[in-house]
């Protein structure tokens, strides 16, 4: 079974731009969660989607948004990029909502200049 895939793997943007990241979960998995990982803050939860609905949201500003499609693929969008948005963005998939074993993708390394 293929693992979680994320595209692109690396991205360089400038302040003020917007970016869209993509995540394809493991086949059959319906829940997708997004995390931001920085050296100072560690892994922080952004949001979770299940059956195309956002089930939970972390403490991030409204510039961070996401969606999930009927095939469970998910996208995350960050608008008006700030320098502090530079991070590794990880996506994790699990079988269903409140199924605790999450499997992570390789991440997208976003650098904001």
Positions in the binding site for another protein (CB under 8 A): 4, 31, 33, 35, 42-45, 48, 55-56, 58, 90, 97-98, 100-107
Q: What does DSSP assign to residue 1? A: -
Identify the CA nearest to 91 among candidates 17, 25, 44.
Answer: 25
Bridge partners of residue 35, in order along the sequence: 45, 90
Specify the residue, 48 or 85, whose C-beta has the smaller distance to another protein: 48
Minimum CB separation of residue 104 from another protein in Å reads: 4
Minimum CB separation of residue 64 from another protein in Å reads: 14
Residue matched to tokens 């690396």: 10
Specify the residue, 54 or 80, whose C-beta has the smaller distance to another protein: 54
Minimum CB separation of residue 105 from another protein in Å reads: 6
Specify the residue, 75 or 104, whose C-beta has the smaller distance to another protein: 104
Residues 6+ positions from 25 with CB-CB distance below 8 Å: 4, 31, 32, 72, 73, 74, 91, 93
Tokens linked to 98:
């409140």
Minimum CB separation of residue 107 from another protein in Å reads: 6
């Amino acid at each position: 079974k293929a693992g979680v895939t994320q595209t692109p793997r690396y991205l360089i943007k400038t302040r003020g731009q917007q970016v869209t990241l993509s995540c394809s979960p493991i086949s059959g998995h319906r829940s997708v969660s997004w995390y931001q990982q920085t050296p100072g803050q560690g892994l922080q939860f952004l949001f979770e989607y299940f059956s195309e609905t956002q089930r939970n949201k972390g403490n991030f500003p409204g510039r961070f948004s996401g969606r999930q499609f009927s095939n469970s693929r998910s996208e995350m969008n960050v608008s008006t990029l700030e320098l502090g948005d530079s991070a590794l963005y990880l996506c994790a998939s699990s079988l269903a909502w409140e199924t605790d074993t999450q499997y992570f993708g390789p991440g997208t390394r976003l650098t904001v200049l």
